[in-house]
Amino acid sequence: MTTMLVKQATLETGFRYENGRVVATETAVRDVFVRDGKVEKIGESLTETADTVIDAGKNLLMPPMREMHIHVDKTYFSGPWKACIPITNGILTRIEEEEKLLPKQLPFALQRAEKMIEWLLSQGHTHIRSHCNVDPQIGTKHIELTLEAFSKFEGKLTYEVVAFPQHGLLRSNSEKLMREAMRKGATLVGGVDPATIDRDIERSLETTMDIAVEAGKGLDIHIHDGDSLGAFEFTKLAELAMQAGKTGQTTISHAIALGDLQGAELERMTTILRDAKIDVTSTIPINRPTIPVQYLQQHGVNVSLGHDSLTDHWSPYGTGDTIEKLSVLAERFRFMDEYSLNRTWQYATGGITPLDDTGNQVWPKEGDKADFLLIDAVCSAQAVARRKPITTVVFRGAVVSGNGEVKSDEQKGAGQHD
Ligand SMILES: [Zn+2]
């Protein structure tokens, strides 16, 4: 039996309205007592004795984040600086590059994966979904090393591993390897651009679905194909997901085409995705059309966020900082008011927020898992807009990153004026 007492944490308790509009977030300073990984009691000046006592110093208590699209198995992170080579043959440039690069990186891939997971945890992610190469050069070695890397973080976070035929399920003839990867412990079946890479949309998606059915697992497929081509692929995937009973277990990563569709076409596609309970993960790209995040969420298609890369042969720009990503999302869609900024947190957490849409406090409640972040911010709207730092990460009632010794600082007062 382990216990933790968090003293003096700021909780969001409601919205303040003026003339029918939200103008501020109401907060209260509270103590939170945790037993055996669950919130047992929330109150003022709790006196329970605990194994661990954290002085939150009025830091904001928020739900932790999920990194829903990353590749921990192929990264330059923690290695020497290296920029990307120029693209000369579209996405195939990178695939051809990987055939030589990944075998070369194998001796230190495990160590880099661990460094990356550690960094993502420090950035407040207590759940990570990593895609993991399955291809003729690497075989299932990356599945093994990714599972090994995550096993070192047992008790600190939860994770999912997507078997990812990056070089094309059909193109690289990786079907057998994919089935083997699922037997070795991958938790989701991946895929990539059935048109651009595999050149056979139906057979590619059908084979992917077959593997998922055989393994009894869900799917998460990279689809970068744009506009009507991407839309055709989404429709086909939705049909197959419905037929195979994979509704609610299918994700489209990137879903770039949703950033291209407009008006009635976007409405039609949103309905198809919603009915098949297909969710979408985005990196919130700013160098190509961004998918309409808020529209999708409001029309029943859940949107999650992922960094995809920190630094690797695909991109040198990733930070692993989801508060920054929320800020980019908010700025991209011109969220400037308290309410819009407050609501962005849902994209980082799978929908968990302290307040519901109308301002009722819904988290944390007694009995909830004791997973939370302490952030040096006065409210989540400020945390997002001003990109405020995470000071402590708690998972199941234990400090898993940060030292838990947050000092009350004078900037808190300054923050009140923002
Ligand atoms: Zn990816």
Q: What is the pLDDT of residue 34?
A: 98
285 C-alpha to center of ligand 1: Å?
13
Query: What distances in angstroms separate CA 88 from CA 69, 82, 92, 141, 164, one per listed residue?
Result: 26, 18, 9, 29, 23
- 213 CA → ligand 1 middle, Å: 22
Q: What is the mean pLDDT of the chain?
A: 95
Q: How far is the CA of 157 from the centre of ligand 1 (A)?
A: 21
- pLDDT, residue 406, reads 52
Residue 233 has pLDDT above 50, yes or no: yes
84 Cα: distance to centroid of ligand 1 (angstroms): 16
As a whole-number percent, the residues of the chain with pLDDT over 90 amount to 94
Calculate how far, in angstroms, residue 192's C-alpha sits from the geometric centre of ligand 1: 9
Question: What pLDDT does residue 175 have?
Answer: 98
- How far, in Å, CA of 361 to CA of 28, rounded? 11
Which residues share a beta bridge with 159?
128
Contact 240, 201 (CB under 8 A): no
Ligand 1 centroid, distance to 96 Cα (angstroms): 16
The pLDDT tens digits of the residues spanning 57-76 come to 999 999 999 999 999 999 99
Q: Backbone dihedral region of 144: left (phi > 0), alpha (psi from -120 to 50 degrees) or beta?
A: alpha
pLDDT score of 411 more than 70: no
Q: What is the pLDDT of residue 414?
A: 37
Q: Answer whether 118's CB lies under 8 Å from 57's CB.
A: no
Q: How far is the CA of 160 from the centre of ligand 1 (A)?
A: 14
Residue 314 has pLDDT above 90, yes or no: yes
Residue 332 has pLDDT above 70, yes or no: yes
Q: Please give the distance, rounded to the nearest whole angstrom, from the Cα atom of residue 322 to the centre of ligand 1.
A: 16
Q: Which residue has the tokens 């009973």?
A: 245
42 and 29 Cβ atoms separated by less than 8 Å:
no
- Residue 223 CA to ligand 1 centre (angstroms): 9
Q: What is the pLDDT of residue 114?
A: 97
What confidence tens digit (pLDDT) does each residue in 273-309 have?
A: 999 999 999 999 998 899 999 999 999 999 999 999 9
CA of 248 to the centre of ligand 1 (A): 20
Question: Which pLDDT score, from 0 to 100, does residue 404 have?
Answer: 64
Q: How far apart are CA 312 and CA 137, in angstroms?
A: 18
Enumerate the domain spans of the chain.
3-63+352-412, 65-320
CATH architecture of 3-63+352-412: Roll (2.30)
Q: Report every protein residue that has its C-beta within 5 angstroms of ion ligand 1.
A: 308
Distance of CA 418 to the CA centre of its chain: 28
The alpha carbon of 94 and the centre of ligand 1 are apart by a number of angstroms equal to 12
Q: Measure the CA dihedral 320/322/323/326, to 10°.
A: 130
Alpha helices in 333-379 (DSSP H): 338-343, 346-349
Mean pLDDT of 306-327: 96
Span 144-158, mean pLDDT?
98
Instruction: Tell me how far the alpha carbon of residue 400 lies from the centroid of ligand 1, in angstroms.
Output: 26
Task: Count Cβ atoms below 10 Å from residue 181 Cβ, excluding itself.
Answer: 28
* Cα 222 to middle of ligand 1, angstroms: 6
Burial grade of 151 (CB within 10 A; 0-12, 13-18, 19 or more) = exposed
Kindly state the average pLDDT of the residues 28-44: 98
Find the 407 Cα to ligand 1 centroid distance in Å: 38
State the average pLDDT over residues 31-53. Answer: 97
pLDDT of residue 1: 78
Region 92-97: mean pLDDT is 91
Residue 410 pLDDT greater than 90, yes or no: no
End-to-end CA distance of the chain: 42
Q: Write down the pLDDT at residue 90.
A: 86
What pLDDT was estimated at residue 91?
Answer: 85
Least confident of 26-30, 176-180, 277-281, 406-410: 406-410
375 CA from centroid of ligand 1 (Å): 28
- % of residues, the chain, pLDDT over 70: 96
pLDDT at 413: 38
308 alpha carbon – ligand 1 mean position (Å):
5
Fold (topology level) of 65-320: TIM Barrel (3.20.20)
What pLDDT score does 405 carry? 54
Task: Give 21's strand partners.
Answer: 18
Predicted local distance difference test score (pLDDT) of residue 36: 97
